[in-house]
Amino acid sequence: MFDSSVITANASLLWQGLLVTLLYTVATIASGLGIGFAVGLAQLSRLLPVRLLGRIYVEFFRNIPLLVILLWSYYALPIFLHVNITKAWAGYLSLSLYIAAFYAEILRGGVEGIDPGQVDAATALGMSAGQRMRRVILPQAIRRMLPPLVGQSIIQMKNTTLLSAITVPDLLYQGSYVSSFTYRPMEVYTAVAAIFLIILVPLTALARRMEGPHARAH
Binding site for another protein (CB under 8 A): 115, 117-118, 120-129, 131, 135-136, 139-140, 143, 217
Instruction: For residue 59, give the nearest of 70, 38, 43, 45 by alpha carbon.
Output: 43
For the bound state, the minimum distance from the C-beta of residue 217 to another protein, rounded and expressed in Å, comes to 8
Residue pair 188/8 in contact (Cβ under 8 Å)? The answer is: no
Please tell me the total number of residues recorded for the chain in this structure.
218
For the bound state, the minimum distance from the C-beta of residue 194 to another protein, rounded and expressed in Å, comes to 41
For the bound state, the minimum distance from the C-beta of residue 209 to another protein, rounded and expressed in Å, comes to 20
**Taking the chain, what is the end-to-end CA distance rounded to the nearest angstrom?**
52
User: Closer to another protein at the Cβ: 118 or 161?
Assistant: 118
Instruction: For residue 95, give the nearest of 114, 112, 71, 115 by alpha carbon.
Output: 71
Element counts in the chain: helices (H) and strands (E): 11, 0
User: Closer to another protein at the Cβ: 125 or 193?
Assistant: 125
For the bound state, the minimum distance from the C-beta of residue 135 to another protein, rounded and expressed in Å, comes to 7
CA 141 to mean position of chain CA atoms: 19
User: Closer to another protein at the Cβ: 97 or 122?
Assistant: 122
For the bound state, the minimum distance from the C-beta of residue 141 to another protein, rounded and expressed in Å, comes to 10
User: Closer to another protein at the Cβ: 76 or 129?
Assistant: 129
User: Closer to another protein at the Cβ: 44 or 88?
Assistant: 44
Could you give the C-alpha distances from 99 to 30, 60, 92, in angstroms and in order? 10, 12, 11
